[in-house]
Each structure stands twice: as C-alpha cells, then as structure tokens.
Amino acid sequence: MNRRILRLAIPNIISNLTVPLVGLTDLVLMGHQDSEVFMGAVSLGSMIFMFIYSGFGFLRMGTSGFTAQAYGERSFEKSMSALSRALLVGLAAALLMVVLQWPLGFVIFKFIGGSAVVESLAKEYFFIRIWAAPATLSLYAFTGWFIGMQNARSPMAIAITVNLLNIGFSVFFVEYYGMTASGVALGTLLAQYCGMTLSIFLFTRYYGKIIKYWKKKAMMQVEGFKEFFRVNSDILVRTLLLTGTIFYFNAKSAAFGNEILAVNSMLLQFLWVYSYFIDGFAFAAESLVGRYVGAKNPSNLKKAIRLLFIWGLGISLPMTLTYHFAGDFFLHLLTSVQSVYDAAQPFQFWTALIPVITFAAFLWDGIYVGATASKTMRNAMIVSSLVVFLPAFYLLEQQFGNHGLWFAMMLFMASRGIYLGLRAKKAVFAKAHA
C-alpha cells in the first residue's frame, strides 16, 4: 500500500513544483522591461484567470472521484462517461467564455482598479489568453480522469510539458519578438493547446482500447448528469468559499497597511510551498479512496487512509521544523527590504504552525473527493469560513490585529480537518459498505 501511495504522490509533487516557475518567469520577463506597468498588467491578468478558473476546479476533482470509483468497480463504461461528461461541460463553458469574451471583459474590468496604461495592457493579455479556455478546461478534465485511473505519471508529464513550454514560448515572444504582456499571454495560449494535444495522445496511447466502451446514451443519461452536477455544484460552492476566504484574508491584510500586506503576502508563500508537497498525497487519496469505495473494499480503504495520515504527518513535522529554524533564511530570500523583514518577525512563528495544523484538511479533502462525498465537503467549508473564520477574526481584530487574522486563518484550516474527520465514518467509510 505504501508503494501505491508513493507511486501516486511523488509524480504529483514533482508536477506541482513546476507550477511557480511559470509565474516567476513571467514576473522576471516583465520586470526587465522599461516600466513597472508591464509587471502590473501581467499580475492583474493572471489574477483574473486564476479567479475564473478556480470556479472550474470541480472538472478535475469531480472527474477524479467518479473515475476512481468506476475503476474500483471495473466499469469502463462509467469511466468513459465520467470523462466525456466533464469534457462536454468544460468545452461548453469554454466556448461560452470565448463567444462572450467582450461583455465578460467589460464586466471584469469595470470592477478592477488600475491605471489606464495597466488596464490597457491587461486587456490585451485577457483577450489573447481567453482563447485558451477550451484547452485549459479540457486539461482539467483529462487530469482528473488520469488521476482517477490511478495514473499519476501522465498528469506529471502533461504539467511539466505545459509549464516548460509556457516558459519557453514566453521567453521567445518577449526576448526575440519584443512583445510584452501580449507575448506572455500568447506563450500561455500555445502551451495550453500543446498540453491538450499531449493529453489526447496519452489517452489514445494508453487507453485507446477502452474507447469502444463509450456510449452516447450512457453519457447523456439524465441520472448521470444529475449526479455530476450535484457533486460538482457542492465542490463549486466549497471552492468559492475557500477562494473567498483567501481573498478576504488578503483584503484585511491590506486594510492593516501596505507593510502588513507585504508581510502577509510573504508569509502565505510558506503555505503555498507546503501545499505543493501535501497535495501530492491528497491526489493519491483521491485515487485510492475512490478505487476502494468503488470496489466496496472497506479494509483497504481504512488501511489507505491510515497510511496517508502517517505520510502526511511524516511530511508535516520536518517542514514545521524547517520553517521554525530556517524561517529567517526564507524571509531573506523573499525580500531585501529591511523594514518589511523586521515587520515580519513578530508573525513568523505562524508559518511553523502551518504544516501540522493544515495537513489534515488537505488530506481529508482528497479523501472526500475520492468518495464523492461533496455535500460534507461543502458543509465543512461553510462552517469553517462563515461560522469559525469570520467570527474569530472580528472578535480578535481590535485587540490582536494581524495576530488575530492569522489565528482566525489557523482556526479555519484546523476546523476543516476536525469537521471532516468527525463526519468521515458516515460520509466516507459507510460508502465502502453500501
């Protein structure tokens, strides 16, 4: 079982680690232009698409759970239906975005601040990158499907290829063609379609024999779509609440002043870096839990979850010690501004708590995705964000300031893990006996 976990987790960790390279390259390319407006435009454009696509995360997570359960049942027909439904919904949404790009862009930029020059460049970025929507949402579906099929190597190959090509194309258009924000957007556009092409190639190469199990009638089955939208609507609500909580954290950081905003932006990087590692095991949980739920195998389900938590703790404790003893070193890497470094010192201890407090929430998320227990995931996020995080912050804000904000964030992450853990017997384990 340990070998299965690592076979699924390690490729996902490797592919996760390539993600920040793209954003870093884009910032470096724009940072060497003759004005700071180019960095602002690309950052703004990237943020817009991050929020747009965060709402479609269900295409990956929902597809992973449905496919893993079909794999456990040894039902190729259900597996093909899961992929085709996700591709159909994703492509329909993407084509709608492309067709309605002008009114969509008008609404988005109506509510986003920025100078006229930055907004103009960001619009240039937006109206190029929007054409990548069909490829991007198709990649979500294919990635979720491969993970559900217990195949972590194909998503790794796709992610590495897309991210490296993204970097290469962006450097080419900016350095050799003299383009700016438009070159970065074009690089992303081409890389996404290359990724989609590679996904189709890997699918036909390794799973071409099961295409014969695809049935239009099965894909379009009303009950199948009802279940698809039930699970994915819950995941959508959960994702929006998670994104909203992070957005609110950043907004309140800004309300404390530019210095605290800079400090919290740096300290959040410790959470994102940790997530690259623990998410690998969360993805492994999606695959294995879905497989054993589909196979109605409660003994292997319990064993997999127990070992996943052992691995999660085994990753979290060393990272807690690393953050505690090497925190100063990482802060110096993130900033050369002494005033910001000094302002971060009183809050640095929160970063050491991140791994041990948050790992359960990450792992339970993967477990619940695999079990398609989306209603409980949604309820956990409602309780954690609206009943725990917001009241805790408002009770602590006046007396503790930014410490109160961080304490509320830690309570938010801890309460998710506790809630999901308490509900697991009924929401997850019972499914293997059904």
pLDDT tens for 61-100 read: 888 988 998 888 888 888 898 999 999 999 999 999 999 9
Same domain, 365 and 421: yes
pLDDT category of residue 103 using cuts at 50, 70 and 90:
very high
Length of the chain: 434
d(CA 119, CA 292): 50
CA 131 to each of CA 40, 93, 134, 187, 284: distance values in angstroms, whole numbers, following the listed order? 21, 12, 7, 12, 32
Q: Measuring CA to CA, how many Å separate 231 from each of 4, 58, 65, 381?
A: 26, 9, 10, 15
Range with lowest mean pLDDT among 206-215, 274-283, 397-406: 206-215
Report which listed range, 103-112, 330-339, 417-426, is most confident. Answer: 417-426
Rg (CA), the chain: 22
DSSP string, 11-56: HHHHHHHHHHHHHHHHHHHHHTSSSTHHHHHHHHHHHHHHHHHHTT
Q: Let me know if residue 178 belongs to a domain.
A: yes
Highest mean pLDDT among 81-90, 218-227, 259-268: 81-90
Q: Are residues 89 and 206 both part of a single domain?
A: yes
State percent of the chain over pLDDT 90: 42
pLDDT of 217 > 80? The answer is no
Residue 20 φ/ψ, nearest 5 degrees: -65, -15
Sign of CA dihedral 404, 410, 413, 419: negative
In a domain? residue 227: no
Please answer whether residues 360 and 396 qualify as being in contact, where contact means their C-beta atoms are separated by less than 8 angstroms. Answer: no
Domain-located, residue 226:
no
Confidence of residue 319 (pLDDT cuts 50, 70, 90): very high
The mean pLDDT value for 35-57 works out to: 74
What pLDDT shows up at residue 27?
A: 63
Give a yes or no: residue 118 inside a domain.
yes
Averaged pLDDT for residues 230-254: 85
pLDDT digits (tens, 9 = 90+) for 373-413: 989 999 999 999 999 999 999 999 888 889 999 999 999 99
189 and 258 fall within a common domain: no
Question: For position 135, what pLDDT does the model report?
Answer: 95
Q: Looking at the domain assignment, is residue 184 inside a domain?
A: yes
Residue 228 is assigned to a structural domain of this protein: no
Quick one: average pLDDT of 220-233? 78
Has residue 41 got a pLDDT over 80? no
Claim to verify: residue 274 and residue 374 sit in the same structural domain: yes
Cβ neighbours for 215, distance < 8 A, ≥ 6 positions apart: 77, 80, 81
Q: Are residues 82 and 216 in the same domain?
A: yes
Give the amino acid at 347.
F
Tokens matching residue 376? 């409980």
Q: What is the pLDDT of residues 332-388, one digit of tens each?
A: 776 666 777 788 888 889 999 999 999 999 999 999 998 989 899 999 999 999 999
Residue-level pLDDT at 211: 81
Q: For position 397, what pLDDT does the model report?
A: 86
Reduced to 3 states, what is the DSSP secondary structure of residue 214?
A: coil
Model pLDDT, residue 354 = 93
| Residue that is last in its domain, among 194, 220, 246 | 220
Share of the chain above pLDDT 70, in %: 91
* Same domain, residue pair 4 and 102: yes
Domain assignment present for residue 225? The answer is no
On whether both 272 and 382 belong to a single domain, the answer is: yes
pLDDT of residue 2: 75
Reported confidence tier of residue 149, pLDDT bands at 50, 70, 90: very high
Mean pLDDT of 261-276: 83
pLDDT, residue 378, reads: 94
Regarding whether 168 and 108 lie in a shared domain, the answer is: yes
Q: Are residues 52 and 158 in the same domain?
A: yes
| Top-confidence residue, 311 or 339 | 311
Long-range contacts of 402-407 (CB under 8 A, 24+ apart): 402/253, 402/256, 402/260, 402/263, 402/264, 402/347, 403/346, 403/347, 405/249, 405/252, 405/253, 405/256, 405/264, 406/267, 406/347, 406/350
- Residue in 358, 361, 359 with CA at minimum distance from that of residue 314: 359
The pTM of the whole model exceeds 0.75: yes
Is the pLDDT confidence value at 256 over 90? no
**CA 64/CA 142 separation, integer angstroms:** 9
Which pLDDT value is given to residue 385?
Answer: 95
Q: Give the pLDDT mean for 271-281.
A: 89
Kindly report the average pLDDT of the chain as a whole number: 86
Domain end among 220, 242, 257: 220
Q: Which residue has better confidence, 168 or 333?
A: 168
Asked if residue 176 and residue 31 are part of one domain, the reply reads yes
Structural domains counted in the chain: 2
Domain around 126? 1-220
Asked whether residue 130 falls in the same domain as residue 201, the answer is yes
Q: Which tokens in the block code for residue 208? A: 């071409």
Closest by Cα among 69, 338, 123, 384 to 246:
384
Q: Check residue 229 and give its pLDDT.
A: 78
pLDDT for residue 158: 93
Which position has the token pair 């389900």? Answer: 301
Find the distance separating the first CA and the last CA of the chain, reported in whole Å: 23
Using the predicted structure, report yes or no on whether residue 220 has a pLDDT greater than 80: no
How confident is the model over 187-199, as pLDDT tens digits? Answer: 999 999 999 999 9
Token duo for residue 422? 């308490």
3-state secondary structure of 180: coil
User: How does residue 218 score in pLDDT terms, banded at 50, 70 and 90?
Assistant: low
Average pLDDT over residues 421-431: 91
Is residue 269 in some structural domain? yes
Find out whether 307 and 390 touch, Cβ atoms under 8 Å.
no
34 pLDDT higher than 70: no
Tell which of 220, 251, 269 closes a domain.
Answer: 220
Same domain? 136 vs 61: yes
Separation of alpha carbons 425 and 373, rounded Å: 11
